[in-house]
Structure 1
Amino acid sequence: MASSQDAWYLSLLGLAEHFRTSNPPSIKSCIQCLQAVFNFKPPPRVEARTHLQLGNILLTYTKNADLARTHLERAWQLSQTIITFDDVKFEAASVLAELYEQQQQSGLSQSILRKAIELSQHHVYWHCRLIFQLAQIHSSEKDLNAAGGLLAVGADYSQISNANYTRVLFLLSRCMLLLIDKKFPEASPLLNSVGHQVENWQGNPHQKEYLKVYFLILQVCHYLVSGQVKSVKPCLKQLQQSIQSIMAPSWPSDDVVVGSNVGDMFIWMPKEHLFILVYLVSVVHSMQSGYMDKAQKYTDKALVQIENLKLIENKPILSVFQLILLEHIVMCRLVMGHRVMALSEISQACQLCRQQPKLYQSHRAQLHVLLGLYAMSMDCTDAAQNQLIAALNATQEQELVTFANLNLAIVYIRARKDTELATLMERVNPESLPSFSHSIRAAAYYVQGLQAFYGARYHEAKRYLRETLKMANAEDLNRLTSCSLVLLGHIFLSLGNHRESMNMVTPAMQLASKIPDVHVQIWATAILKDLHRICADHARENEAFQMHRSFSTQILNDQFQSTQRSEHTPLLQWIDGPLPILPNTSPASSSQSMR
């Protein structure tokens, strides 16, 4: 029979839980009850658990992180002295490490996790969870070798512990790090090996489907990073079918999916987040393929999903998804000639980064690239140059550096800045490009062709552009194909070969209208107008003239409206320091309705 003192603190714990779970919850009363427990000198187990409860509640419902930290540190300290008190001990370590990480005290976070991992070797669930957590910290700090090493240890430990599902999760996570680190020669065989394991999985069918989605997302990303947008189509289709299965009403909750094996109680991410991630990779694929309308439709749907989830629980990963979606849709808008909307979405991206300093640190270079592309589309040459150079100064990520350099080369070519261009062209030489991407290499040939065209070296330009076309056609890079065709059409016009010019410009125009790419359409109609005039076909000349005038009017009106927006000047002038504080402006309205 419990003593009267025991009855007091047990009653207080019950009352605290009542206040926490009441509707609406009374968190202040809950915290007061839990704090009162300490007045009754409870046993160490109760004291440690109460400190953990207080720490969790303060973190969840208040902004008093320092007091939460004090309680969590006490829970961790006390629980280490108690035998067989694993759940409290390791939860305290995990939550405390997460808090240290949020307070940018990574050293403390790593230290406590290493200690907890050492103590948890007899407890499969916590040992694996803590390894995942420490690997995540190393990964966020770009120490991918340390993170990969931990994941390999986790895979071996899971195998020994017969946690086969978790072993595959560790292996897939290791593949993901190798892809991020661009270690494709190591990633490919491991990814293929894990793919066979997933395909031959004999366990829980729901777990198999989760593993399959994780594997397919990595496979799709591998293709997209490599610029192989045609080769990726079968995998992407499979992925879209799998996510539909997982999102079906008949699919069980995530808690049911993980099953009863204590070592296998993990998921990579909730199905609602997976759903958005599949939308995101579909956006990237549509954009790289040159289907801007499709990318826009996927983006609209994904952003609605994100807003709905944020109302329930605003997880940091949702802002990451939102930012990447905005970055891609901005590029689509610029291709389509919708600069007003692009500027509004760049402003939204800046707002997200201002709210979350970590996002700003990881995406600052991307913001400068977007502003550089926007400035290019607005013919603001100096601003474009400054933004792209700012991007190069803010990152060492090889693909982003190459992408920024290619666009900077176009700026220099158009502005006839031959001295600056001469020093840059070697860095974008397609023969020695430090990039694994098929599409980036194809784009580098296009830039070489553009430079040769501006230098009136037409035969050299044709040679480069034919290489671009060969690579673009191999992987259905439609926008690169249309740009190359219209430039070849311009070259043949300059050489007086009107038939060949027409043979290039006509398909360029057709392709550009499908994308739709308003800039190629303006260029193509200008050439068609000249060709029809030379051929004395006045009806078609007038038709091309009317189309050219329509596209030009559309682009000029949009350009004027962009310059009138309050974000235009402060964003183009921002090349250093914190993000500019932008005035509250209403988002640009979209002409596209969601289906």
Structure 2
Amino acid sequence: MASSQDAWYLSLLGLAEHFRTSSPPMIKLCVQCLQAVFNFKPPQRVEARTHLQLGNILLSHTKNVDLAKNHLEQAVPTAALTYKQSLSSWLLSQVINSFDDVKFEAASVLAELYEQQNQISLSKPILRKAIELSQHNVYWHCRLIFQLAQIHATEKDYTLASSLLGVGVDYAYISNASYTRVLFLLSKGMLLLIDKKLQEVQPVLNQAGHVIETWTGAVYQKEYLKVYFLVLQVCHYLMAGQVKSVKPCLKQLQQSIQTIMATDDVFMGPSAGDMFLWMPKEHLYVLVYLVTVMHSMQAGYMEKAQKYTDKALMQIEKLKIVDNKPILSVFQLMLLEHIIMCRLVMGNKTQALQEISSASALCKQCPRLLETHGPQLHTLLGLYAMSMNCMEAAEAQFIAALSTSRERELWTFANLNLAIVYLRGKREADFNALHDRINPESLPSHSHSLRAAAYYVQGLQAFFQGRYNEAKRYLRETLKMANAEDLNRLTSCSLVLLGHIFLSLGNSRESMNMVTPAMQLASKIPDVHVQLWASAILKDLHRICGDSQRENEAYQRHVNFSQMLLSDHFQASQMSDHNLILWTQGNFPINTSNSPNTSTELL
């Protein structure tokens, strides 16, 4: 009789697998077969595995999350219960010592499900218990440590997450899982970067880099680890505003990703624990595009940033069709954030607004994205509002960004732009109130580029107050720092402002020496606003020199830039998305009737 029952449930399991792998899959029939298995009272390990299969299938192919959770939790009575009175497949399998895969996979899936339902307090005990039980199983012990560290990182408990990853480094070392040891090291380095513990990052990256350089294992594993390592090195440089210094690392990264994309995935190693990916190579490919865009935008290569953004967004759309992973939306949002800033520099407010709308739509779809990128969105809206001369809205957006962000670089960037809003509004007292936040000598951010920008803002204030010698000192400091790291936009802005100062002082020759290279550099970026400003100064300089032909040419250029900007300004002001500048909290405004006033005055 027992063998007859075995035959029945084994047949049902085989039939269920047939229905699952059919094209298209017949999920309803698969689920019915698996549910029928329980009627034949199979062995405990089979019952546990069947509950796990049902939970996974229901999660993957249906919206019945409660039933999926029920299968993950339900099993036969066992004395191994912890904090929960209901039974679970992973608790059941604790009494089956040889059945590790069910035990730990069920723990992992159940913890992930709780996390998705914002019940993280239920996820962590399951994972801690599973980590404790899995020390003899290298693969699952490492995987569960990664999963628990990720949860702590999501909660911004970076210290605890880093500590867990440190445990993983040591465990992988004694388990001879060399590849996974480097993954743990690099993941720890990434969290230290996120937590801005820049002094602690480099030793960790140096340790990982040494292991990678002396790697004797599989070539594909080495190249994969190298990409992860170089991504972190590039991000480290970019966070420090060192645009020129990062170039060798970025070039190596671009070469390494080409090698990986041309190679089949082969993760063969001596240890069962060496079976992990940071992310699939198709996602890495997009990530390399993203850091290239970040570099191009900081360096002032706007058209290059635009080209790589287009390629990356196209790649993301293709990947989303196959499997819409949440990380793809994060990449998409970060690409939009950078290209929006490029559009504003290039004088294309209409397209910037369309992309702000796309970024808002992504945040609407995923509340977590809005929570993590809300300050960036407020900052972008502040920059757009400034470009439209909606100074009240710009101020409100920057204040909203400052009130919702503790990230030093963003906080400093928002304060610097808020300071410019106050300067343009002749609000000296409000500007002075920001002094400690934007003082280049005591800036909260350690970014080279932001410190250079802080000197520029100080120079701008001195210029507005007619303190020309002081303004020149600040601007020369900006130029020195900008030239050291190829910060082209800051260089062009500083040169044109110095040209304006020398013109005001009656020194037309020195003014020409500043404005001419400013115009050339601004044309390469291209920065339409600096070109507009420079063409106005050049018109006056040529008039002073009595060169009417060049005066007329400069005047015509100025008119062309003005007309282009005014046309784009009007078009953006008529779009319903323009009302996004009214949003500072809560739901996004939709077609608000009281559109903010915009001015066509151009700086």
1:252 equivalent to 2:264? Answer yes
Q: Quote the residue 1:34 is aligned against.
A: 34
**SS of residue matched to 1:262:** coil
1:576 equivalent to 2:576? Answer no
Cα distance in 2 for partners of 1:9, 1:186 equals: 56
Q: Quote the residue 2:204 is aligned against.
A: 190
- Aligned pairs for 1:230-249 (under 5 A) are 230-248=244-262
Q: Is the 8 A contact 2:496 2:533 kept in 1?
A: yes
Percent sequence identity over aligned pairs:
74
Q: Is the 8 A contact 2:176 2:271 kept in 1?
A: no
Cα distance in 1 for partners of 2:55, 2:114 equals: 13
Cα distance in 2 for partners of 1:189, 1:135 equals: 20
Q: Quote the residue 1:152 is aligned against.
A: 166
Deviation at 1:422, TM superposition (A): 1.1
Moved more, 197-206 or 290-299: 197-206
Q: Is the 8 A contact 1:258 1:267 kept in 2?
A: no
**SS of residue matched to 2:243:** coil
Cα distance in 1 for partners of 2:384, 2:510 equals: 33
1:408 equivalent to 2:418? Answer yes
Selected match of 1:493 from 479, 489, 503: 503
Q: Is the 8 A contact 1:430 1:445 kept in 2?
A: yes
**SS of residue matched to 2:441:** coil
Give me the CA root mean square deviation. 1.1
1:16 equivalent to 2:16? Answer yes
Q: Is the 8 A contact 2:267 2:274 kept in 1?
A: no
Deviation sequence 1:306-341 (CA, Å, 0-9, x none): 000000000000000000000000000000011111
Letter in 2 for 1:184: L
Deviation at 1:143, TM superposition (A): 0.4
Q: Quote the residue 2:559 is aligned against.
A: 549
Cα distance in 2 for partners of 1:448, 1:258 equals: 57
Deviation at 1:33, TM superposition (A): 1.1
1:335 equivalent to 2:349? Answer no
**SS of residue matched to 1:263:** coil
Deviation at 1:258, TM superposition (A): 4.5
1:101 equivalent to 2:115? Answer yes
Deviation sequence 1:6-32 (CA, Å, 0-9, x none): 111111111111111111111111111
Q: Quote the residue 2:3 is aligned against.
A: 3
Deviation at 1:2, TM superposition (A): 6.0
**SS of residue matched to 1:568:** helix
Q: Quote the residue 2:324 is aligned against.
A: 314
Deviation at 1:579, TM superposition (A): 2.6
List gaps (5 residues or longer) in structure 1: 584-595
1:350 equivalent to 2:364? Answer no
List gaps (5 residues or longer) in structure 2: 74-87, 593-603
Cα distance in 2 for partners of 1:582, 1:357 equals: 21
Letter in 2 for 1:573: L
Cα distance in 2 for partners of 1:101, 1:280 equals: 28
Deviation sequence 1:437-477 (CA, Å, 0-9, x none): 00000000000000111111111100000000000000000
Selected match of 1:276 from 275, 286, 295: 286
Cα distance in 1 for partners of 2:72, 2:440 equals: 55
**TM-score (structure 2 length as normaliser):** 0.95
Deviation at 1:3, TM superposition (A): 1.5
**SS of residue matched to 1:80:** helix
Cα distance in 2 for partners of 1:511, 1:79 equals: 67
Q: Is the 8 A contact 2:496 2:515 kept in 1?
A: yes
1:127 equivalent to 2:113? Answer no
Selected match of 1:447 from 457, 464, 480: 457
Cα distance in 1 for partners of 2:222, 2:19 equals: 40
Q: Quote the residue 1:588 is aligned against.
A: none
Cα distance in 2 for partners of 1:51, 1:548 equals: 72
Deviation at 1:41, TM superposition (A): 1.8
**TM-score (structure 1 length as normaliser):** 0.96
Deviation at 1:582, TM superposition (A): 6.4
Moved more, 88-97 or 37-46: 37-46
Moved more, 202-211 or 116-125: 202-211
Letter in 2 for 1:197: V
Cα distance in 2 for partners of 1:517, 1:500 equals: 22
Pick closer, same or farther for the CA change 1:258–1:447 going to 2, 3 Å. farther
Deviation sequence 1:471-493 (CA, Å, 0-9, x none): 00000000000000000000101
Moved more, 70-79 or 359-368: 70-79
**SS of residue matched to 1:567:** helix
Cα distance in 2 for partners of 1:185, 1:421 equals: 32
- Return structure 1 stretches of 4+ with deviation > 6 angstroms: none
Cα distance in 1 for partners of 2:591, 2:16 equals: 44
- Aligned pairs for 1:75-224 (under 5 A) are 75-224=89-238
Letter in 2 for 1:312: V
Q: Quote the residue 1:298 is aligned against.
A: 308
Deviation sequence 1:393-437 (CA, Å, 0-9, x none): 111111111010000000100111112111012210000001110
Cα distance in 2 for partners of 1:192, 1:163 equals: 19
Cα distance in 2 for partners of 1:397, 1:216 equals: 23
Q: Quote the residue 2:62 is aligned against.
A: 62
Cα distance in 2 for partners of 1:346, 1:329 equals: 10
Deviation at 1:543, TM superposition (A): 0.1
Q: Quote the residue 1:390 is aligned against.
A: 400
Selected match of 1:376 from 386, 410, 424: 386
Cα distance in 1 for partners of 2:232, 2:351 equals: 31
Cα distance in 1 for partners of 2:278, 2:575 equals: 42
**SS of residue matched to 1:441:** helix
Deviation sequence 1:108-154 (CA, Å, 0-9, x none): 11111000000000000000000001111111111000000000000
Deviation at 1:260, TM superposition (A): 5.5
Cα distance in 2 for partners of 1:397, 1:223 equals: 17
Cα distance in 1 for partners of 2:127, 2:159 equals: 18
Deviation at 1:188, TM superposition (A): 1.1
Moved more, 417-426 or 489-498: 417-426
Pick closer, same or farther for the CA change 1:14–1:580 going to 2, 3 Å. farther
Cα distance in 2 for partners of 1:4, 1:321 equals: 54
Deviation at 1:581, TM superposition (A): 4.4
**SS of residue matched to 1:431:** helix
**SS of residue matched to 2:282:** helix
Deviation at 1:578, TM superposition (A): 2.3
Q: Quote the residue 1:591 is aligned against.
A: none
Cα distance in 1 for partners of 2:419, 2:95 equals: 64
Cα distance in 1 for partners of 2:275, 2:111 equals: 21
Pick closer, same or farther for the CA change 1:189–1:540 going to 2, 3 Å. same
Deviation at 1:77, TM superposition (A): 2.4
Cα distance in 1 for partners of 2:571, 2:17 equals: 57
Moved more, 40-49 or 543-552: 40-49
Cα distance in 1 for partners of 2:203, 2:171 equals: 21
Q: Is the 8 A contact 2:108 2:144 kept in 1?
A: yes
1:524 equivalent to 2:538? Answer no
Letter in 2 for 1:45: R
Cα distance in 1 for partners of 2:286, 2:356 equals: 20
**SS of residue matched to 1:503:** helix
1:226 equivalent to 2:240? Answer yes
Letter in 1 for 2:485: E
**SS of residue matched to 2:442:** coil
Q: Is the 8 A contact 1:139 1:147 kept in 2?
A: yes
